[in-house]
């Protein structure tokens, strides 16, 4: 890549909101810059990014660009930080528009470059001449050596790097994109764990009791199932005997719900590890500065009120906390824009990896202790999802189906692991997420501040069609079968959105902004009839759906669809609605690991020196991943992998 040295700059609150000011004068090191004359002053331009305009303000003196400020708050949170941080610095340093785009952040990168070019022209300069000013190429290093080599810089890779570094091991973290965070930055800012302190603040509902009692009444399918049921029964009996009224929860109940919710396909041992380490993982992150809202709820598809919500959008707060650790540590080297294609073996032991730099140079990574694969899933790889996952449940997973995934998530790690003898499990299991944009497949423009507790889903006739607190796969399938083009409406009221100018979508835009700009079919109405007219649905059907829902909030009895979570009425105008449709979201199959995050071969034996964590693994989520469990997965098993890899001889 062109002279791009990775360095960490502290993220200010302004940058997190999309504003950036370089605050540096033009560098005198740009000896190769073409002589240019400008009309001194400050100029502003707007250029199209991925999701909207990027505003670029550029300041000039007589001969140089001296400052660049950006407003890019409509671009993807977290991902946008990298081009916002890197590209203005390089333009200023080299007085050139020939800077590289950030890999997999091309739209935002080009918007910045194009915006500066517009400002150059406004100032009387020649943008084409600046595009001809060569930026010196950085010499690519062809070999790296560290105790631990981590392939993939998403949430699991960053968790593993942090844990290994904290254990005193040197780390090389290799990422094929031009930014860190991976698909974790597309998550819905939710994290599940039983939390005794937070549970005290919430009342136990009859619906929650019925969930527990139904699960405990099931006939166990094996000894471990019976053992976990017995543990939960003992905990629940003690809770009932206490006559307390706060919300009951425990790690074992979380694990049992995770396993049951995945159709009992997963490894219950792994689910117990996940759930029993979830609270500690949350507190570990909080000790690094991760901020959570002071509440828990029932995230979409999570099945229970144990979901914690990040303060920042799209799990960027988690990524920032990890980045702050690894990018300020002398023990961690980060190599960007270098896809890895091979795990190096010495006999039966993993000893490194091989990748290719942006300039085509082969780069070899030597691991003194261990290699960790954290490259994510394959929901964005149409060929793989059709090969492994199409069938009776999902007959068409072809290119017409959107995905929530980052384009970098192509199943690379699964292919590499299989090539060195790793066993793959649950590869046929894929999850579609119902709460995505019908056009783009993204989740960032959804507004569900009370999640399923204060919303209903209705079809294009204005009728409810499934239980909103149900499983994601069931909701997605119902949407695809019962609704034209699989599109449905999420309906909320002012109980959920008390002020549209301050209530935000998951990517940080306000509801009012969505309404004003006619985005994602956001509509509002001062009456149910007005809302129905703006949605284009039958007003009487919508009125009946809302009244029936409100009646069940009062009664707390399960409704005709089997919904048990009723927390907030839809009773106060104005009302709001926006459209959703399913997209390919999470692949539950992947590399077979044990409780120590060690990779297993096809005979069930550990492959020495090889670990894996995150969505690249299988055996944890079974046939259906509970909403909010993916972030727990990357934290818990990423941490376990990093800690154990650092402890290798």
Annotated catalytic residues are 472
> Please, are residues 455 and 489 in contact by the beta-carbon 8 Å criterion?
no
| Cα distance between residue 182 and residue 407, in whole Å | 9
Q: Measure the CA angle with vertex 236, ends 233 and 237; round to 5°.
A: 85
| Cα distance between residue 559 and residue 553, in whole Å | 10
Q: Measure the CA angle with vertex 280, ends 279 and 285; round to 5°.
A: 100
Find all residues with CB under 8 Å of 519, minimum gap 6, and list them: 445, 509, 513
Give one DSSP letter per residue of 66-128, joined into a string: EEEEEE-TTSPTTTTHHHHHHHHHHHHHHT-S-PPPPTT-HHHHHHHHHHHHHHHHHTT--HH
Find all residues with CB under 8 Å of 287, minimum gap 6, and list them: none
> Please, are residues 569 and 493 in contact by the beta-carbon 8 Å criterion?
yes
Q: 3-class SS at 283?
A: helix
φ, ψ of residue 260 in degrees (nearest 5): -60, -45
> Please, are residues 429 and 389 in contact by the beta-carbon 8 Å criterion?
yes
> Please, are residues 132 and 435 in contact by the beta-carbon 8 Å criterion?
no
| Cα distance between residue 163 and residue 165, in whole Å | 5
φ, ψ of residue 23 in degrees (nearest 5): 65, 20
> Please, are residues 97 and 130 in contact by the beta-carbon 8 Å criterion?
yes
Task: Take residue 13 and report the two structure tokens written for it.
Answer: 């609150």
| Cα distance between residue 125 and residue 115, in whole Å | 14
């Amino acid at each position: 890549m062109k002279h791009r040295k990775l360095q960490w700059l502290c993220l200010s609150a302004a940058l997190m909101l999309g504003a950036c000011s370089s605050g540096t004068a033009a560098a005198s090191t740009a000896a190769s810059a073409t002589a240019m004359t400008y009309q001194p002053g400050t100029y502003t331009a707007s250029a199209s990014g991925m999701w909207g305009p990027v505003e670029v303000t550029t300041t000039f003196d007589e001969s140089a660009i001296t400052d660049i400020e950006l407003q890019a708050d409509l671009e993807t949170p977290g991902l946008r930080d990298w081009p916002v941080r890197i590209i203005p610095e390089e333009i200023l340093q080299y007085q050139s528009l020939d800077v590289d785009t950030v890999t997999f952040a091309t739209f935002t990168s080009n918007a910045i470059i194009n915006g500066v070019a517009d400002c150059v022209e406004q100032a009387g300069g020649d943008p084409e001449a600046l595009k001809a000013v060569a930026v010196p190429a950085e010499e690519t290093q062809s070999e790296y050596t560290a105790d631990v080599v981590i392939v993939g810089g998403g949430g699991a890779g960053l968790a593993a790097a942090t844990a290994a570094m904290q254990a005193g091991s040197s780390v090389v973290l290799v990422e094929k994109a031009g930014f860190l965070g991976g698909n974790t930055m597309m998550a819905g800012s939710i994290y599940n764990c039983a939390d005794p302190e937070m549970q005290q603040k919430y009342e136990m509902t009859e619906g929650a009791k019925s969930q527990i009692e139904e699960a405990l009444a099931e006939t166990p399918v094996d000894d471990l199932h019976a053992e976990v049921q017995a543990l939960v029964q003992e905990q629940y009996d003690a809770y009932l005997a206490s006559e307390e009224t706060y919300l009951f929860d425990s790690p074992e109940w979380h694990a049992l719900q995770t396993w049951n919710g995945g159709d009992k396909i997963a490894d219950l041992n792994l689910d117990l590890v996940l759930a029993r380490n979830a609270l500690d993982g949350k507190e570990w992150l909080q000790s690094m500065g991760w901020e959570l809202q002071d509440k828990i709820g029932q995230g979409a598809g999570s099945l229970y009120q144990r979901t914690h919500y990040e303060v920042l959008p799209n799990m960027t707060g988690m990524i920032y906390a990890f980045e702050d650790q690894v990018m300020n540590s002398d023990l961690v080297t980060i190599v960007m824009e270098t896809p890895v294609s091979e795990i190096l073996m010495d006999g039966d032991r993993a000893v490194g990896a091989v990748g290719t730099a942006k300039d085509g140079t082969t780069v070899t990574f030597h691991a003194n202790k261990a290699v960790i694969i954290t490259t994510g899933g394959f929901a964005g790889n149409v060929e793989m999802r059709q090969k492994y996952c199409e069938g009776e449940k999902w007959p068409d997973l072809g290119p017409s189906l959107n995905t929530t995934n980052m384009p970098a998530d192509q199943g690379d790690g699964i292919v590499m692991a299989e090539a060195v003898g790793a066993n793959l499990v649950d590869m046929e299991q894929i999850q579609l997420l119902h709460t995505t944009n019908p056009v783009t497949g993204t989740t960032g423009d959804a507004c569900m501040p009370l999640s399923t507790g204060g919303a209903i889903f209705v079809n294009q006739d204005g009728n409810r069609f499934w239980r909103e607190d149900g499983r994601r796969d069931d909701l997605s399938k119902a949407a695809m079968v019962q609704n034209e083009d699989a599109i449905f409406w999420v309906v909320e009221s002012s109980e959920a959105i008390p002020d549209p100018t301050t209530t935000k979508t998951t990517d940080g835009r306000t509801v009012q902004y969505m309404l004003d700009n006619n985005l994602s079919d956001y509509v509002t109405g001062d009456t149910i009839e007005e809302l129905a007219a703006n949605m284009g649905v039958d007003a009487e059907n919508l009125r009946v759906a809302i009244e029936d829902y409100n009646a069940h909030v009062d009664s707390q009895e399960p409704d005709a669809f089997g919904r048990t979570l009723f927390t907030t009425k839809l009773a106060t105008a104005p009302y709001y609605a926006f459209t959703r449709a399913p997209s390919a979201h999470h692949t539950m199959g992947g590399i077979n690991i044990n409780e120590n995050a060690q990779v297993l071969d096809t005979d069930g034996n550990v492959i020495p020196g090889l670990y894996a964590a995150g969505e690249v693994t299988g055996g944890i989520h079974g046939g259906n991943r509970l909403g909010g469990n993916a972030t727990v997965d990357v934290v818990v098993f990423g941490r376990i992998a990093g800690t154990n890899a650092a402890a290798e001889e």
